[in-house]
Structure 1
Amino acid sequence: MEPKKLSIIIPAYNEGNTIHEILDKIKTVSLINDLEKEIIIVNDFSSDNTSFAVNNYRISNPVLNINFVEHKKNLGKGAALHTGIKYANGDIIIIQDADLEYDPNEYNILLKPILDGVADVVYGSRFMGGNPHRILFFWHSIGNKFLTFLSNMMTNLNLTDMETCYKMFRAEIIKSLDLKEKRFGFEPEVTAKISKIPKIRIYEVGISYYGRTFEEGKKIGWKDGFRAIYCILKYKVFK
């Protein structure tokens, strides 16, 4: 059946100052094949004004299809994604961070392989050439590439950016997975589990990246890197 709707899952934790900006960008995007947009925002028990900002935005923009879900305690990004996947009604699902590091205007780049009928999953790679890429931290980029390399060894894939936020799935694929990781272990876990699906068709496309510094609100740290290594090994070697 031809896909009709794209579900955009936004996990949000203390993003009250910028979430309206990412929603403005999503609002202006015209999707190919006239796909509808469904936005699922999961507030992971933010301690700032995220809840107020989202509710205020919904009132001001009634034409946007926004489903707002709130956790009663902080559970982690992965847990917020699990909630978003559960509530998604679209035929295709994409993950969108609440910050401004990734550009919704590039949804159509990821959609094309799926709508062309050649892909089930599409990753947006920050390391494929030709797109704007903010220059930030050397060791952070080395860490990302090492995690991708290790993940590729375990999954026999040849991804260039396993840790990317922009992952797009046919809804039946992502909803079929029993996902466990509640924090940033989501990325290696979902990659390991889709790699085991028989005849899965995974594509990668180049995207832009407008990275943030820690002072600007970036949240992932070295502990999450070690957790990612653990998850890569866990979902291959131990299970």
Structure 2
Amino acid sequence: MSVAIHMPSDDSISSSHKYSVILPTYNERKNLPVIVWLLARTFTAHSLAWEIIIVDDASPDGTQEIARQLQTVYGENHIILKPRAGKLGLGTAYIHGLNFCTGDFVIIMDADFSHHPKFIPQFIKLQQTYNLDIVTGTRYRSDSSPALSEGVTPGGVYGWDLKRKLVSRGANFLADTVLDPGVSDLTGSFRLYRIAALRHIISLTLSKGYVFQMEMMVRARALGYTVGEIPITFVDRIYGESKLGADEIVGYAKGVWALFTGV
């Protein structure tokens, strides 16, 4: 079930849990060192146990070599490189990375700065306060989003042109109207999962492309898992190109219908 909840005003966190980050990459040579540094700094500042599982799909730009260098800096216990033979889809990247997670909770996010690690402490605080199974970042505000407490700003999107904003809004509106999932941002991919919940949901998820994130949320609700939302600011990638194409958009529409008739 999804729940409308208030973000605690106290942003301090302490936890005996370990947090595993699954970071799918393809041609992220320039982005990877900085996002890893930001993640390491965030976890260290809050004295949290952590690891980053880098799932690279045979990037031709040398992403894997950068990952190996990062292992020498942060240690192989913190940076785990688990490459694949080629581009096999976002959903299967999470399934692959999940096999190597040793944490109690799993964070999924992009490696291109679209998702800033500064929001992770808010995710963890919200999860701890309400004992949630899932916390998801939302770029949008709606009636189903958690009420904002003082000092917490609404989500937003920066760096997108009008066409891409309309596609994203339209995709969420379609899914919200047809499926009534109880969360305001179905296509987002910045989330915190209790690892047992993630393993359960992902074992039932059939989609592999753009619709994958939506199906995960719809199935989470159908299975009775508790979900909270944190407003985030989404910034378009700094280096490289978006991987969203026309085929993914068509696949998304088909996925909405499949979930409507099958879940």
The 2-side partners of 1:33 and 1:118 are apart by 19
The 5-angstrom pairing of residues 86-105 of structure 1 reads: 86-105=99-118
Runs of 4+ in structure 1 displaced over 6 angstroms?
none
The 2-side partners of 1:225 and 1:69 are apart by 29
Tell me which amino acid in the other structure corresponds to 2:55. Answer: V
The 1-side partners of 2:16 and 2:218 are apart by 25
Using a 3 Å threshold, how does the CA distance of structure 1 residues 189 and 133 change in structure 2: closer, same or farther? closer
Contact 2:140–2:154 (CA under 8 A) maintained in structure 1: no
TM-score with structure 2 setting the length: 0.81
> What's the Cα RMSD here?
2.2
What residue in structure 2 maps to residue 44 of structure 1? 57
The 2-side partners of 1:218 and 1:155 are apart by 27
**3-state SS, counterpart of residue 42 of structure 1:** strand
1:190 aligns with 2:203: no
1:72 aligns with 2:98: no
Percentage of identical aligned residues: 21
Note the C-alpha offset of 1:31: 6.7
Contact 1:155–1:195 (CA under 8 A) maintained in structure 2: no
Contact 1:151–1:192 (CA under 8 A) maintained in structure 2: no
Contact 1:75–1:183 (CA under 8 A) maintained in structure 2: no
The 2-side partners of 1:92 and 1:155 are apart by 27
What residue in structure 1 maps to residue 182 of structure 2? 158
State which of 33, 44, 47 in structure 2 corresponds to 1:20. 33
**3-state SS, counterpart of residue 175 of structure 1:** helix
Using a 3 Å threshold, how does the CA distance of structure 1 residues 169 and 105 change in structure 2: closer, same or farther? same
What residue in structure 2 maps to residue 207 of structure 1? 232
Contact 1:31–1:108 (CA under 8 A) maintained in structure 2: no
The 1-side partners of 2:127 and 2:45 are apart by 11
What residue in structure 2 maps to residue 176 of structure 1? 200
Deviates more, 1:228-237 or 1:24-33: 24-33
The 2-side partners of 1:55 and 1:142 are apart by 39
Using a 3 Å threshold, how does the CA distance of structure 1 residues 132 and 147 change in structure 2: closer, same or farther? closer
Using a 3 Å threshold, how does the CA distance of structure 1 residues 174 and 31 change in structure 2: closer, same or farther? farther
Structure 1: give runs of 5+ residues left out of the alignment.
none
**3-state SS, counterpart of residue 50 of structure 2:** strand
TM-score with structure 1 setting the length: 0.89
Note the C-alpha offset of 1:66: 1.4
Q: Which has the higher contact order (CA 8 A, sep 6+)?
A: 2
Structure 2: give runs of 5+ residues left out of the alignment.
1-14, 142-152
Using a 3 Å threshold, how does the CA distance of structure 1 residues 120 and 33 change in structure 2: closer, same or farther? farther
